[in-house]
Structure 1
């Protein structure tokens, strides 16, 4: 039932509210602001609710300073009401909702009325009243949204009321200045996760760690929080460039009132301070002034420089109790592995897509614009000089300017960064823009650091007329230009990695910037779809994910980020998605050389972890049995590798998709040691996981000893170890292979990649037995391993049912490619938490698995749900997504039985759309 509530001569919103308050069981109010004029009218009914012990929650905000302190203080007097304030300093709080609980239903009002006298009776207000059963999807969504906002808010306390009251008195309710409650500085979601991991590593006696955090997400604050947790007495903070010393020092001073902070660089030598902030250049020349153990905590900012001579000199000299590396990008052009400097301990690996998802960086408005001049059909994108000639035309300059003026920018002054193909293109664009009255400058790789910093300072200065910097690749990473409000992508997107790096230059949050404008001129080149890879990141399950995102204008992106592509750009991308086989050798070869071109050298497996990109080397392994074989194949080389080595590396690479770290931690130890027992293995594994069970370690020993392999697998791989009692021993063939330093390095890369990938995907959390992470992809063989199953694992494959003790694993095909088959098996979602599934053909209701499935709670059987949309995509078998535990809520028929299952955790909007919408 639905009803529109308005204010008129016969009815008003106030009367409707009073009626609901008088008969409800509980209430929830969510309004942007509360005035005493409106609250006074509710005092009598709220008192009645208090006397009847009817509980209520009230959520409001200080948005635009309209909420009155008097009203908040009055609400505090009611013992039955919990009052919270939502922090509207970063996001507007406009919601108006009144939720009333009754025996079997909720009566929910959503509309335009705040708690004011005029809103209750005289204003033009539209409010929709909905009566919804407690188990209806609408009710669940409303309550979930309220709880989400309420949990983020903070309780109204005396400290808050005093601060707000003082503000209102001094600002005279000025709308130009909004109240911000100066709460204690708290960790953001990234920092909280990293701090937990750092504590975990220290419990495992580790004294080094690397934190990889996207620019603008708060890595300096992260280091300050951890210094506080560590209770460090003497701290050294090292930077690569002098211009960020003061900002780092200011960050620490906000958290440490009782500690002295000083600068050690240039003319400043404040050596008597507790916390010292120094450039690496100054410190490398002054090591004689310090004992090697002088600092108990050292932070290397921009840690990707750590293998440079000056960084390495300082790193090797000091012997601190803990060393933390901070970087936005862990890649190095000199092939040094920076992970090794920090003992492969990753505190956090938090890249740009995750930062967008968590709203830790500035929102952006992306416009994909179909280019007017370009036809790339006969042009190879790597032929930069030829491509530049194609782009350097007056007509295209006018078109770019037209679009730049049409879409505009945040703020009064345009502060733009424009990315070009090569130097001639950048110079051409700069010249043409200046002639058309746009003050522009060209920055190239040969320009000095001093010149770059001066130009960056100028373009961000409101009073300086410079508004556009044209460059090639010098701003792809490691440069901070916080106030940039416009990015122009003037070259074809040939790499999602570079696209992400360039986009990141403008995403630092600053008060002066509400959003970043991104104009991407998309041509009809054959890799135009790569931009969608960059924008969606981990949200991509398959091609379907991209099509869905395109069709709904990427609505699933959070953080006030908007993505718009014109009709022609969409059509180009959709056509390419249909035509491209993402598993073909041709496509994989192109990916490989695209990545090689980015890093300027033959990539190792570790390089794929270092860079934020959409390249997945597991696909290369699937194509050629091992990564090294794929490289040799595409590079057309022959290293004359022995059969023993190939069978060894194939075993290791084929298990990179393993969903537990045990096997790789064990093999990593055996690279340098002859044997490993249960206790030694436990120490190795605890470096990566907060808890480990000896039964699982022993199962890993048996797995590595091929006890769960069939004869064909045993013949396919080289045996690396043998098991005797509770100890693993290296085989003689494995020892012989490891004697060759080059072959050992290939093996080490594979093992290290597997460990780093595990850390990135699973973190340190222990998920129990079976070891299952929500929304991770699995197959039956994974489950056999993660349950410590004693049977030969290759016997489990495909879909259907697998059981282990009281854990039942249901592998369900939705198979959107085959509607007839899907219909026959009745595997479909009815809502975000409810789906149907049909059992094996011989299942009956009164015995065996059939009875346990329909009465799973009675028999204490856990039903683990795994779902895949398609059996295969581009001729490659797809994994199943783990949706958690479900319970049977209804059933009918037998041989087979048709079950209706309810998930304990409902799907989010994006995943539900993935499983239900057709494109």
Structure 2
């Protein structure tokens, strides 16, 4: 990918940095293949070879760190850092602080490394391309997997074990009967390929050593590898496992193989301890997904005990970065149908019942659950406190930090509640800062990016005090393909709090004013952006919002109203993206809201038990392409509104359908899912009218299953 981009950009000089010399030569060969006809001279720069006259130079970080001052700071137009998850290291930072390329590109397969350095800061929050597990499976970049969730033996009781009770967990897992059971299941489910080549993930070094001993006694050649072994010893054993001629079948390990190994021949993964984190689960699963000539799929055996957090595997396997309880229950009940490409998941009846029960009873929005999720993520960060929302970006399987925001109004307030950090206590004592942070945080996740784009520009350009239509448009177009003048004006009006009601104005502070076609920064905003730590935390909210928006919406223009198919929206968010020019809080409270020639239909599929009969409408999906909807109960076919609904195509009325399964889950109000535009096929009755609608887009199978379940 980097070679193709360099071919397109055609820089005068390029530097490609790697951390291992063997990668260096492969990179140079690839560039020569892709750019061979450009006439660019390519060279190697290592401790032994220094082809300094090359236009495109390929160097190890170690060598360049000793000789970088032989080059001018602007020597290279284009700088590429391979394995960019190492970029927080002192050597890498020394080089990045010295060189001033026009463009910096980082590449990594493991951004979820989650150490104490935020990779995104080095790249201004920009993600050029991201391929996650589900995408990689759908695009067949990796092999599919066959996952078997197997109920553990009755003699292993993990019901009262906590994640950090490693000694007790090890003691309960070291059971001879369990080893025999694992071997039986391996024979039952088999593996793809002539030879079994597997990794077993254990609870501790003691557990890994125990499994190795027992497997060797059962004539399954195995070794134990842990952090106590040297890199050279690890490499020897990895080479043995990769070799078909070597009898070695299994490596039992703890921690060290969660990331950073490359053994394509692995065809078996054993999960031998309770899933303690969706992040670790994904990392361990990924060890066996590399393509190999003699492998069509990976076999994963997960021995699910009665641990109280068994449901974490559902979060990992769902493939959704942002999930809710109901969607997880449907995924488990349907064996994750439609989630994972050609892969398939099988849970035995007892394991499935246990996980569904745990999901039903778990309070995902409780402070206890959120603290546990945060603590696990912090452990993944090697004990470093993740002070920034952006710390969660790039970590597949990480908790959604907006759940923390929702609980405490801002992420910083949640961190303070958990950590009791004295510096944060000082920061949060500034009432004005907190009110602005709350206002900006309340807009996450973004449904349109314009306001955040403009605020980020103003926050980082202290000399800019006003924004007009032309400058605002120019800044917005740096992030999106196109934007209408009406939307730009509406975004500027929103920044000036034009559509805030009295309640909004009471809880927030006005930072901008919309005066005569110009947005003016107010003194309070200028004061906040002049204080470094205030600016840092505010910029984190803006960066997180824009990066997450980019992941979910890309750069496309979704028109007016600015609605993306199958995205979720609150009524107030619909008002915003429709450029509604009245108080946005007024755009709610009815199943039918209208603005210009757009009719917005809001439906709850499962009505509350105590709903009044007069509003207990018979709204339902009748197929993946059709929907039955009933109008407000005072509407007749002869009324102007009734005619607009019945003859919507003829009258150029756009019917936008939004649905949600439940109004609330665990006390939290749920957003609506946008199913797109619909047109009326037929109408019957009055007070209310029953309309048969045809959707312009067929609902995808996975979503249809979820809405129908």
User: How far did 1:272 drift?
Assistant: 5.5
User: How far did 1:836 drift?
Assistant: 0.6
Q: Determine the C-alpha separation between the residues in 1 that align with 2:94 and 2:430.
A: 40
Mapped pair 1:416 → 2:195: no
Q: Determine the C-alpha separation between the residues in 2 that align with 1:246 and 1:371.
A: 47
Q: Determine the C-alpha separation between the residues in 2 that align with 1:288 and 1:630.
A: 45
Task: Give per-residue Cα distances to partners, 1:629-660, cap 9 Å, x unaligned.
Answer: 12222234561522222212111111123311
TM-score of the superposition, structure 2-length normalised? 0.92
Q: Determine the C-alpha separation between the residues in 1 that align with 2:95 and 2:188.
A: 52
Instruction: Give the match's secondary structure for 1:703.
Output: helix
Check the 8 A contact 1:357/1:557 in 2, yes or no: no
Change (3 A) 1:798 1:351: farther
Change (3 A) 1:558 1:496: closer
User: How far did 1:591 drift?
Assistant: 1.4
Partner residue, 2:534:
743
Check the 8 A contact 2:114/2:380 in 1, yes or no: no
Q: Determine the C-alpha separation between the residues in 2 that align with 1:803 and 1:541.
A: 30
- The 5-angstrom pairing of residues 46-445 of structure 1 reads 222-232=1-11, 234-258=13-37, 262-271=43-52, 275-288=56-69, 290-330=71-111, 335-372=116-153, 373-445=155-227
Partner residue, 1:16:
none
Check the 8 A contact 2:200/2:252 in 1, yes or no: yes
Task: Give per-residue Cα distances to partners, 1:225-273, cap 9 Å, x unaligned.
Answer: 2223224464432222223234434443443443665543353445555
User: How far did 1:906 drift?
Assistant: 0.6
Q: Determine the C-alpha separation between the residues in 2 that align with 1:299 and 1:540.
A: 31
Given the alignment, which residue of 762, 775, 798 partners 2:566?
775
User: How far did 1:328 drift?
Assistant: 2.1
User: How far did 1:777 drift?
Assistant: 0.3
Partner residue, 1:449:
231
Change (3 A) 1:777 1:585: same
Given the alignment, which residue of 390, 407, 410 partners 1:626?
410
Partner residue, 2:295:
513
Given the alignment, which residue of 362, 375, 379 partners 1:580?
362
Check the 8 A contact 1:833/1:906 in 2, yes or no: yes
Change (3 A) 1:270 1:405: farther
Mapped pair 1:687 → 2:478: yes
Change (3 A) 1:502 1:664: same
For structure 1, list consecutive stretches of 5 or more residues without a partner in the other structure: 1-221
Given the alignment, which residue of 833, 837, 846 partners 2:625?
833
Mapped pair 1:719 → 2:510: yes
- The 5-angstrom pairing of residues 606-645 of structure 1 reads 606-636=390-420, 639-640=425-426, 641-645=429-433
Task: Give per-residue Cα distances to partners, 1:655-710, cap 9 Å, x unaligned.
Answer: 12331112212222232325241333333322321112333233222212221111
Change (3 A) 1:278 1:451: farther
Q: Determine the C-alpha separation between the residues in 1 that align with 2:115 and 2:315.
A: 28
Change (3 A) 1:446 1:670: farther
User: How far did 1:521 drift?
Assistant: 1.0
User: How far did 1:890 drift?
Assistant: 0.8
Q: Determine the C-alpha separation between the residues in 1 that align with 2:278 and 2:524.
A: 42
Give aligned pairs, total: 696
Partner residue, 1:187:
none
Change (3 A) 1:717 1:818: same
Q: Determine the C-alpha separation between the residues in 1 that align with 2:528 and 2:113.
A: 29
Instruction: Give the match's secondary structure for 1:286.
Output: helix
- Taking only aligned residues, the RMSD between alpha carbons, in angstroms, comes to 2.4
Check the 8 A contact 1:540/1:546 in 2, yes or no: no
Instruction: Give the match's secondary structure for 1:350.
Output: coil
User: How far did 1:787 drift?
Assistant: 1.5
Instruction: Give the match's secondary structure for 1:349.
Output: coil
User: How far did 1:838 drift?
Assistant: 0.5
Check the 8 A contact 1:884/1:903 in 2, yes or no: yes
Check the 8 A contact 2:453/2:475 in 1, yes or no: yes
Given the alignment, which residue of 601, 616, 623 partners 2:384?
601
Change (3 A) 1:870 1:345: same
Task: Give per-residue Cα distances to partners, 1:591-615, cap 9 Å, x unaligned.
Answer: 1212112212222211111311251
Partner residue, 2:305:
523
Change (3 A) 1:297 1:895: same
Q: Determine the C-alpha separation between the residues in 1 that align with 2:159 and 2:208.
A: 23
Q: Which has the higher contact order (CA 8 A, sep 6+)?
A: 2
User: How far did 1:859 drift?
Assistant: 0.7
Check the 8 A contact 1:417/1:487 in 2, yes or no: yes
Check the 8 A contact 1:807/1:862 in 2, yes or no: yes
Given the alignment, which residue of 252, 272, 276 partners 1:494?
276
Instruction: Give the match's secondary structure for 2:107.
Output: strand
User: How far did 1:519 drift?
Assistant: 0.9
Q: Determine the C-alpha separation between the residues in 2 that align with 1:436 and 1:382.
A: 31
Instruction: Give the match's secondary structure for 2:629.
Output: strand
Check the 8 A contact 1:852/1:861 in 2, yes or no: yes
Instruction: Give the match's secondary structure for 1:430.
Output: helix
Mapped pair 1:671 → 2:462: no
Partner residue, 2:253:
471
Q: Determine the C-alpha separation between the residues in 2 that align with 1:434 and 1:765.
A: 57
Task: Give per-residue Cα distances to partners, 1:190-249, cap 9 Å, x unaligned.
Answer: xxxxxxxxxxxxxxxxxxxxxxxxxxxxxxxx2222223224464432222223234434
User: How far did 1:487 drift?
Assistant: 0.9
Partner residue, 2:332:
550
User: How far did 1:799 drift?
Assistant: 5.0
Instruction: Give the match's secondary structure for 1:826.
Output: coil
Task: Give per-residue Cα distances to partners, 1:407-442, cap 9 Å, x unaligned.
Answer: 221112221111112222222222222233222222
Q: Determine the C-alpha separation between the residues in 2 that align with 1:265 and 1:438.
A: 43
TM-score of the superposition, structure 1-length normalised? 0.72
Instruction: Give the match's secondary structure for 1:538.
Output: coil
Q: Determine the C-alpha separation between the residues in 1 that align with 2:473 and 2:303.
A: 53
User: How far did 1:741 drift?
Assistant: 3.0
Check the 8 A contact 1:666/1:676 in 2, yes or no: no
Check the 8 A contact 2:529/2:535 in 1, yes or no: yes
User: How far did 1:317 drift?
Assistant: 3.7
Given the alignment, which residue of 641, 646, 660 partners 2:434?
646
Task: Give per-residue Cα distances to partners, 1:438-459, cap 9 Å, x unaligned.
Answer: 2222222243333333322221
User: How far did 1:500 drift?
Assistant: 0.8
Change (3 A) 1:427 1:829: same
Residues 651-660 or 522-531, more deviating: 651-660
Mapped pair 1:758 → 2:549: yes
Partner residue, 1:561:
343
User: How far did 1:292 drift?
Assistant: 4.6
Instruction: Give the match's secondary structure for 2:659.
Output: strand
User: How far did 1:503 drift?
Assistant: 0.8
Q: Determine the C-alpha separation between the residues in 2 that align with 1:691 and 1:916.
A: 36
Q: Determine the C-alpha separation between the residues in 1 that align with 2:564 and 2:228.
A: 48
Check the 8 A contact 2:160/2:307 in 1, yes or no: no
